[in-house]
Structure 1
């Protein structure tokens, strides 16, 4: 059966019925009919895979013989279609639940599990990369003064601003209450510091200053890059906040 005809059949199978049968191909029932006839098709049964009113897909049983499918065959195919629909639904639901389990419901960012997997993947590649540990400055004061609902709004707005400031290939994760981490596929330390400066600027633009610790691994494979970035973040806090500190360095950039 021509591959292009499958798409045309899919567009044709749009009604509420679960099974479509044609005893012999002797009529114009959808666009592309001629190609099926030229391919020697004599009988066609299309089973729509549905969940409630939603169509998940379809499968096709075809025969070169121009015969009418028996009632028993159609019933068996409908049962098979029901089973396949259930399997597809379960797979999709499982993927949805897995995605929800990996994401922070407040910001929509992936959190610690996905963060660890990303670090592992980059370590295995043995390519240069950087980790940025990011913490909102004086966030407790925000919650205490304006309430947790306002604090949640601050975190959502900040997360959106940071994601928008990141290069497309880099990822932001929420690793704690007011803590984030960015994983950068940085080719150089200068690239990593440039991204960190952009994140600082984005945070200031939404009125939420942050402190950032940066750790860079030129050769890849470092098992403790996040620990080093977190230590640099701690130094940034001690240095007065609203700064970026590089792991293993004593200087920092203040704004």
Structure 2
């Protein structure tokens, strides 16, 4: 408020000065003289008009600026809230990985940008036995440990998702066949080395992994079919195995 008064006062003073200059310049040029009444008018009229008008204008301007700042702040908060909601909607609540729909959408986008990459399907071994023996809460703890091991095993920039109850997906962006085998084996080893002690008893955690390296013309659904086949082979090969192979184009 003090700022408004000061600014309005300066405008009124400038108006008084301008009024006096006009009077002493124009009136004599017209053959008149500036007397006491004229001086009074030159001072009083600008003060009575310029000060309240400028004070109101400054007050309205400050209100508009404050409203604009508040609107900008609210817009930023809404945008941040929208990003948080969008991120939350795209992720699995428990593991923080992408959910199934978002994972495959991200996989499809990545495939459109680059032909290279590999898909791994990672499934927890004997997970039903953990749930049956120790309950679902303990099973959730095991899943979190497995998810953490998977995160430790992949590379920066790879795409991770929880695509089923105890099934995870990893798309290794730009990976060659050998790189995919190395990552799959690293994940398998990380899970196997994880210490899980429900009720003080050591329970081994292992995963079976099926993977495929992208063929140029292969679709996401074809890659999934091939990776699932390799996962089936790993399960029936004794579990705790990682099998990665080339994707056969247009797999039947």
Fold conserved between structures, TM > 0.5: yes
Question: Counterpart of 1:214?
Answer: 211
Matched, 1:160 2:148: yes
Provide the residue aligned with 2:240 in structure 1. 242
Residue 79 (structure 1) aligns with: 67
Q: Which structure features the higher share of helix residues?
A: 2
How many residue pairs align between the two structures?
189
Task: Quote the residue 2:223 is aligned against.
Answer: 225
Q: What TM-score, normalized by structure 1, do the two folds share?
A: 0.67
Residue 77 of structure 1: how far off its partner (Å): 1.5
**Distance (whole Å) between structure 2 residues aligned to residue 158 and residue 129 of structure 1:** 23
Q: Tell whether 2:86 aligns with 1:124.
A: no
2:107/2:159 contact within 8 Å kept: no
TM-score of the superposed pair, with normalisation by structure 2: 0.68
* Structure 2 counterpart SS, 1:177: coil
- The higher relative CO (CA closer than 8 Å, separation ≥ 6) is in 2
Distance 1:160 1:198 in 2: 13
Contact 1:127 1:221 in 2 (8 A): no
Q: CA deviation at 1:150?
A: 0.8
Matching residue of 1:38? none
Decide whether the 8 Å contact of 2:177 with 2:245 is kept in 1.
Answer: no
Unaligned runs of 5+ in 2: 8-53, 195-203, 248-252
Aligned alpha-carbon RMSD (Å): 2.6
Quote the Cα distance in structure 2 between the aligned partners of 1:220 and 1:124.
11
Which residue matches 2:139?
151
Q: Which secondary structure does the structure 1 equivalent of 2:187 belong to? A: helix
SS at 1:143 equivalent? helix
- Give the unaligned 5+ runs of structure 1: 1-18, 25-66, 250-255
Partners in 1 of 2:119 and 2:216 — Cα distance? 14
Query: 1:107 corresponds to which residue?
Result: 95
* 2: CA distance, partners of 1:187 / 1:86: 43
Task: Give the number of the structure whose residues are more often strand, by fraction.
Answer: 1
